[in-house]
């Protein structure tokens, strides 16, 4: 024997939520992006992206000093909590665009990467290296991944996705309307998509 049930009521808000979720696709990329990382270090001949990769993973002669993976692991629970809060606000309609819902998380991750870099990452630099940086007038000679500040400044967060108001039609693809001072805008990220600083 089978029973039947009929649901009645106003499902307009549910329909709107489903439409918004189906229409919205968004990601943030935090780090040194190829289009912003063309500076070539005169001493090594390496670009910001190459320096970021070397420092994050290390080489045969240089120890790894993780500024991307380490803070992401250390702050995983904090990111999950903020992400859940932002998504609840988006679902409820308190946050009207995917960009507004996801960017605070990207900016938090960016800040944690930058803070870790400036605190200094073990192992410490050798005495001769510190003295050489002092002679060159670098502002933070003891900080392993900071010299001129160029690579540090190249760490940015970029939004890529739909900029769509929950209550309206249409929308834009590709992160339009972004704030260039935060490093998100109209170009999708490429190259080394997580951060560094030198």
Tell me the pLDDT tens digit for each residue of 20-76.
555 666 788 888 887 666 677 665 678 888 888 999 999 999 999 999 899 999 999
C-alpha distances out from residue 98 to 89, 119, 176, Å: 11, 32, 12
Taking the C-alpha atoms of residue 57 and residue 132, their distance in angstroms, rounded to an integer, is: 24
Specify whether the CB–CB gap between 164 and 23 falls below 8 A: yes
Checking 13-18 for CB contacts under 8 A at 24+ apart, the result is 13/93, 16/166, 16/167, 17/91
Taking the C-alpha atoms of residue 196 and residue 51, their distance in angstroms, rounded to an integer, is: 8
Please give the mean pLDDT across all residues of the chain. Answer: 74
Highest mean pLDDT range out of 38-52, 99-113, 149-163? 99-113
> Regarding predicted confidence, which is higher, 109 or 163?
109
């Amino acid at each position: 024997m089978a029973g039947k049930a009929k649901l009645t009521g106003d499902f307009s808000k549910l329909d709107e939520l489903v439409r918004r979720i189906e229409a919205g696709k968004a990601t943030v990329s935090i780090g040194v992006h190829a289009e912003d990382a063309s500076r070539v270090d005169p001493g090594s001949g390496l670009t910001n992206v190459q320096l970021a990769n070397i420092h994050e993973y290390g080489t045969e002669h240089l120890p790894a000093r993780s500024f991307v993976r380490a803070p992401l692991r250390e702050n995983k629970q904090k990111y999950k909590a903020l992400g859940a809060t932002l998504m609840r606000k988006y679902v409820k309609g308190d946050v009207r665009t995917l960009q507004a819902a996801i960017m605070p998380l990207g900016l938090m991750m960016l800040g944690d990467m930058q803070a870790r870099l400036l605190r200094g990452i073990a192992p410490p630099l050798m005495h001769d290296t510190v003295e050489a940086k002092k002679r060159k007038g670098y502002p933070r000679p003891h900080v392993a991944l900071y010299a001129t500040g160029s690579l540090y400044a190249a760490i940015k967060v970029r939004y890529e996705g739909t900029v769509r108001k929950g209550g309206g039609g249409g929308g834009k693809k590709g992160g339009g309307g972004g704030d260039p001072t935060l490093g998100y805008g109209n170009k999708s990220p490429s190259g080394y998509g997580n951060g560094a600083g030198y």
